[in-house]
Structure 1
Amino acid sequence: MARLQILELPEGAGDDRPPFVLVVDEYVPQRYIIGADQPEPVDQFSGIAEKIGARAVLVFEETIEIPANDVPVGSDGLPLTVRVEGDFEGFHEQVQKEINIAQENMRRGIDHIKATYGS
């Protein structure tokens, strides 16, 4: 039975959605008899790319493995999950610096108001 895979392509500047290619492998060609007036075989994949928004449709009789589609699994046989944690080193210092700047700006504003309108 044929398999369907998606090969994602790098995005270009004018792409409104990620470009991709549909890959059909393990395909067994079949002949269709449409009529005596049709000398050429029917192309089952004609127009599919346009209909689904793919850049192309690649069809192979062999098995094609796309490494990007491999899902790494752990020792339990389940897909691996990766936990990403933010780097908060220096975060406290950055926040404290912004607080100090805001307090200084408030103090200057109060001093300006006092100098202009009196205390």
Structure 2
Amino acid sequence: MARLQILELPEGVDDNRPPFVLVIDQYTAQRYVLGPDQPEPVDQFEHVAEKIGARAILAFEETIDIPANEITLSDAADGNVVRIRVEPDLEGFTEKVMAEVAKAQVEAIDAVRQARL
């Protein structure tokens, strides 16, 4: 099952909130056929970044670990290092994203049909 991670980016002068990239790993691409005239495969994540406020969405088949999502605690006295991995609880988020993707696909199909008229 695909995993979702957030990669925070450095803030710019005009940023109201910290910018971020949504990183999806362990992702299996799916192909959709809209019709025989379809020139290219449908982008499942088209416009999703805009809707969630991300700068971009990066999807990978492999597992990607973002070091920024780990916190290292160390005690110089004994030399022990503790690493804590921070993972958000995104229960239901995948379903919401996929619903938005399905909605965008329907809108794309409607736009193609309207263009043919």
TM-score by length of 1: 0.57
Paired residue type of 2:54: A
Letter of the structure 2 residue corresponding to residue 67 of structure 1: P
Question: Cα deviations across residues 79-118 of structure 1 (Å, max 9, x unaligned)?
Answer: 69xxxxxxxxxxxxxxxxxxxxxxxxxxxxxxxxxxxxxx
Residue type of the alignment partner of 1:47: H
Per the TM alignment, residue 34 of structure 1 is displaced from its structure 2 partner at its CA by 1.7
The Cα of 1:22 is off from its aligned counterpart by 0.4
Q: Structure 1: which 5+ residue stretches go unaligned?
A: 74-78, 81-119
Higher strand share: 2
Give me the whole-angstrom Cα distance separating, in 2, the residues matched to 1:59 and 1:33: 20
Asked which structure has the greater CA Rg, the reply is: 1
Q: How many residues align?
A: 77
- TM-score, normalised with respect to structure 2: 0.58
Letter in structure 1 aligned against 2:8: E
RMSD: 2.4
Q: Residues 60-90 of structure 1, C-alpha deviation per residue, up to 9 Å, x if partnerless?
A: 11110001112569xxxxx69xxxxxxxxxx
Partner of 2:70: 70
Partner Cα distance (1:32, 1:19) in 2 = 31
Higher relative contact order (CA 8 A, sep 6+): 2
